[in-house]
Chains A and B, each alone.
Chain A
């Protein structure tokens, strides 16, 4: 009884502390990406520990009483944990991708690593324009491709 209560209290304390850190980070950081970093990671970690708390709580209750209701509660909580683990990082990645495509850059960073991808597309378009300006080069290229 006592040991189980101590374990549940520790897991619940970890969950509450990390959820609180995520909520505070949502207000303290200057930028979309840093806010996403703080909020998503800390909240996912805290919620995982909350589900661990519930699994231990209902699992020990099932061990004591043997009623199938408590086992059902533990199993459904495991399903909720799997759903959270699958959906939460994917949603965060989608938000970051949308923010970068909208044009918001990192606020205090010197360089943006993802900016190079757009530049590559621009360079490819410029190369295509140059090929159109010189039809002789195009013919040679097409002959070379046909030979292959």
Chain B
């Protein structure tokens, strides 16, 4: 395993982006703001999984990334469907 691989550096940068997006998840004044931040975090996690799978030559990581993408899509749709019935505070 070679840690000077540019994909490892990309994974570290993606981790920093995930932390910055989590700040919006905590700060967000309204519920849709938090949902947007969660959606962004999900996409970044899928990206870092693909990068890590390519850097370590593990096909399993990319399979898990596919399943994670589809499950996060279902989660986002469920949260959106739940929020439609809620009145804005």
A residues sitting closer than 8 Å to B (CB atoms) are: 8-9, 12, 15-16, 19-20, 22-24, 26-27, 32, 35-36, 39-40, 43-44, 46-47, 50-51, 53-54, 57-58, 69-70, 72-73, 76-77, 79-80, 83-84, 87-88, 90-92, 94-95, 97-99, 101-104
Q: Top 5 closest A-B pairs, CB basis?
A: A87-B73, A94-B80, A103-B88, A91-B76, A99-B32
B residues sitting closer than 8 Å to A (CB atoms) are: 6-7, 10, 13-14, 17, 20-21, 23-24, 30-33, 35-37, 39-40, 43-44, 46-47, 50-51, 53-54, 57, 59, 62-63, 65-66, 69-70, 72-73, 76-77, 79-81, 83-84, 86-88
Q: Which residues of B contact A19 (CB under 8 A)?
A: 13-14, 17, 44, 47
Main secondary structure of the interface of A (DSSP, over half): helix
Main secondary structure of the interface of B (DSSP, over half): helix
Q: Which residues of B contact A51 (CB under 8 A)?
A: 50
Q: Is the CB of A9 within 8 A of B6?
A: yes
Q: How many A-B residue pairs have CB under 8 A?
A: 157
Q: Is the CB of A26 within 8 A of B47?
A: no
Q: Is the CB of B37 within 8 A of A26?
A: yes
B66 to nearest A CB, angstroms?
A: 5
Can you list 11 residue pairs at the A/B interface with Cβ under 8 Å?
A: A26-B36, A39-B36, A43-B40, A47-B43, A54-B53, A73-B54, A80-B50, A88-B43, A94-B81, A95-B39, A98-B84
Docked complex Cα distance between A90 and B81 (Å): 13
Q: Is the CB of B14 within 8 A of A97?
A: no
